[in-house]
Amino acid sequence: MNLNKNWHQSYRENLNYGGRIADAVAKGMGSWRFIIIQTVFVIIWMGLNMVAFFKHWDAYPFILLNLLFSTQAAYAAPIIMMAQNRQNERDRVQAQDDYNTNKEAKLEIEALADKLNSIEIEKLDKIIRILEEMK
Residue 127 within a domain = no
Residue 62 within a domain = yes
CA 20, CA 30: separation in Å to the nearest integer? 15
* CB-CB contact of 85 with 15 (8 Å): no
* CB-CB contact of 78 with 85 (8 Å): no
Res. 6: pLDDT tops 80:
no
Number of separate domains in the chain: 1
Give residue 118's pLDDT.
93
Residue 132 within a domain = no
* CB-CB contact of 14 with 7 (8 Å): no
* CB-CB contact of 94 with 7 (8 Å): yes
Across all residues in the chain, what is the average pLDDT?
86
Residue 108 within a domain = no
CA 42, CA 70: separation in Å to the nearest integer? 14
What integer is the mean pLDDT of 51-72? Answer: 84
Residue 111 within a domain = no
Res. 3: pLDDT tops 70:
no
Q: Which residues form the domain of 64? A: 7-101
Residue 93 within a domain = yes
Residue 42 within a domain = yes
Residue 13 within a domain = yes
pTM > 0.75: yes or no: no
